[in-house]
Amino acid sequence: MKINNAFKPKYVVSVLAFSIMNITSAYSEVLLEEIIVTAERREQSLQDTPVAVTAFSDDFITDTRLESTSDLVGYVPGLHLAQFTRVQGLPTLRGAQSGDDNPGLDQPVAVFVDDVYKGRVTDFDLNLFDVERIEVLRGPQGTLYGRNVVGGLIHVITKKPTKENRVVAELSVGNFDLINAKGVVSGALSEENNLYGSVAFSSNKRTGFTRNVFNGRKLDSVDKGSAKLQLRYAPDENFEALFQADFLRDTGFGQHRDYVGPVPTAPSIAGFSQDNDPNTVNTEKDGGIDRTSSGFSLALDYDLGSVHLKSISAFVTDEAILAETSAFGLPASIFFTSQDYDLDQFTQEFRVSGNAFEDRLDWVAGAYFLNSDHTRNRRFDGDFIEGTFLGDIQASSFGNTDPQFLLNMQTIETNSQSAFFQGTYSVSDSLRLTVGGRYTSDDKEGRLEHQGDSFVFLSDAGVFATDLPKATFSEFTPRFTLEYDVTDDVMVYATYSEGFKSGGFVDGDRASVEHYHVPKAPEGAENMEIGLRSIWFDNRLMANVTAYKVDYTDLNVSQMVSTGGQVNFLQISSSAEAEGIEIELKAALTEGLNAFINYTYFDGHYIGEALDGNEMVSPPGAYSAGISYDVELANDHQLAFRVDLQHKDEYFQDPANEQGIVNGIDGMVNGSMTWTLPSSWEVSLWGKNLGDERAVNYGNGAEAFILSMAAVESGALAFAYNYMPPRTFGLSLRYTVD
């Protein structure tokens, strides 16, 4: 469901495409900026990298106001992120999705920050400030990265302190009482002793954009602050030590849920009806976030001439409490949930790299270790009233309509060890062969406890507490790539690679305690990919194309279903097949005028089991497109204009392909105008979602809890939606010295 979607994006894209295709008349001195990435664990030009990677520079991140990893969804067309709350992100790339955020199962898409793994659901709300670049790697990453992922990964690389002094201060104000302050100070602490440091901070506060008519409060407020300290010691060009410490505090209030459907049958809310306004809800439970996260890391680099050694040690702790949140957005406690998370994680990676055979072979090898203790306590409460589908079943089966609850407590300890190698050999000046592989072994064990009532929530296992015995998952994942330089500016490649995500323990949908002791099988992905990386018209047009086919096995998906009076979170394993095309175009049209278009086509379906034939969670077609224009004024003043557009075809939010629970973006427009003064000051007027499109971010079915048995049996449907933010705009003042 989308609201206010009269905007027609195809015309803007047509204009952009026409402009890009007619750059031959542009000024010859206009050039594209080279993009350097480290997707292959060494610095390379994006155009020389045989990997499906989208890179965002620091200028792009600043100009488009990418403030959280969740903001990447609009600029990576194939990326999907379902968020029941802001710190419960379930990511999808190339159709690989879990649908479950319990500690016993990993996500198929991971986040890395400066090579440190952050793969839990809370990690998709990171603050992005003082970032050098972001690399989004699409498809299985089974060789070089510390935790195998079958869908892809997001790598955030922050700016490091150097001897150059750098000061940045920014203050933004906007609608919904926005006050956003950011700052960084970086430079030499003791140049004589080769010690450098930086401190960065960000404070983001905003009142909620959704009014709860039940109590008059504003939901979806933001109150988030973060800080990062870096110390870098570089006594000579052969050794470097980098210490990082970061801290995040988030106390945002409220989480809106908007009921959409027929008038509810439940007597306690008789007469309630939807208002078709995404800016207002009528809900008894407001929800909210109370999260504290911190981390420490130490990276050591040794350059021994023929080989390079690197060690990365990191510790992360994350605690999050999610207040009672209504699942259906109604002025009664029919169904609500609360949760708390607690994570302690230590990782250690060793890498050694070098060259051999007169520099014809570039190679890297290493070992990786992870230990994590992850706990989630999740509670569901329901009051199933007579006159509703579930209420009538409870009354007839149990002779009462007493409130029901389930308290689900799961703790999982994970120990992961892996070793990897990759080498790229230049067969000739134009032909290169890459061979790599990784062996991974994960051990998982823990404890699971269920408390609650017998009707609706509990499976046949009933009330119990049990230790989950150690389970081991291991796999070798190879990679083979052949790349060929057609010309100095055109490279083609073909890759076969595999990905692996370890299995784990579920926390629901099992008939007996013994069944909970049997872990789910690990996920696998076999990826075949061909790509083109090309530069045209004297470095004024970049055209990159990737086509792929991937076969998934034992995808672990979760789905809440209500059948016959039982509400269960079904844990399903299914195979799947997917194929697609990804196109990235970037053009320097004339002096100061640049444009880009990123497009993806996707076709994927589940195979076998209960999901056979269902569409995978990814838009069939999606794109982001933008244009920017920089104007040089008198006396060293500058004006910069920017506008971009995002579109995603409608697609099902979950593997069950439930009718009415779909995502999609018709045409979301963002823009900015920036005036740069010669005195290091910048003033920006900006806006996001200028057309005020209220696309669905997350949805779930509600009919069994709210409508009568007759209505449900006749096929009536009801939903609860969470929408993407409305139009936001503001003014930013930025001061930079570097």
pLDDT digits (tens, 9 = 90+) for 172-231: 999 999 999 999 999 999 988 899 999 999 999 999 999 999 899 999 999 999 999 999
What is the rounded average pLDDT of the residues 135-150? 85
Q: For position 19, what pLDDT does the model report?
A: 54
pTM, to two decimals: 0.91
Structure tokens at 461: 């296992």
Q: For position 126, what pLDDT does the model report?
A: 77
Q: For position 23, what pLDDT does the model report?
A: 56
pLDDT classification of 509: cutoffs 50, 70, 90: low
Q: For position 481, what pLDDT does the model report?
A: 97
Residue 516 has pLDDT above 90, yes or no: no
pLDDT classification of 26: cutoffs 50, 70, 90: very low
Residue 566 has pLDDT above 80, yes or no: no
Query: Which of helix, strand or coil describes residue 705?
Result: helix
Q: For position 349, what pLDDT does the model report?
A: 96
Q: Which residues contact 214 (CB under 8 A, 6 or more apart)?
A: 281, 282, 283, 284, 331
What span, in angstroms and rounded, lies between the C-alpha atoms of 186 and 446? 43
Instruction: Pick 275 or 630 by higher pLDDT.
Output: 630
With b meaning 16 or more CB within 10 Å and e meaning fewer, what string describes 701-715?
bbbbbbbbbebbeee
Residue 331 has pLDDT above 90, yes or no: no
Q: For position 326, what pLDDT does the model report?
A: 87
Residue 507 has pLDDT above 90, yes or no: no
What is the rounded average pLDDT of the residues 373-389? 87
- CATH topology classification for 10-737: Maltoporin; Chain A (2.40.170)
What span, in angstroms and rounded, lies between the C-alpha atoms of 598 and 72? 13
Structure tokens at 475: 């796999």
Q: For position 440, what pLDDT does the model report?
A: 95
Residue type (1 letter), 491: M
Residue 276 has pLDDT above 50, yes or no: yes
What span, in angstroms and rounded, lies between the C-alpha atoms of 272 and 511? 38
What is the maximal distance between C-alpha atoms in the chain? 83
Q: For position 40, what pLDDT does the model report?
A: 87
Q: For position 455, what pLDDT does the model report?
A: 62
pLDDT averaged over the chain?
88
Calculate what percentage of the chain has a pLDDT beyond 90.
57
Residue 497 has pLDDT above 50, yes or no: yes
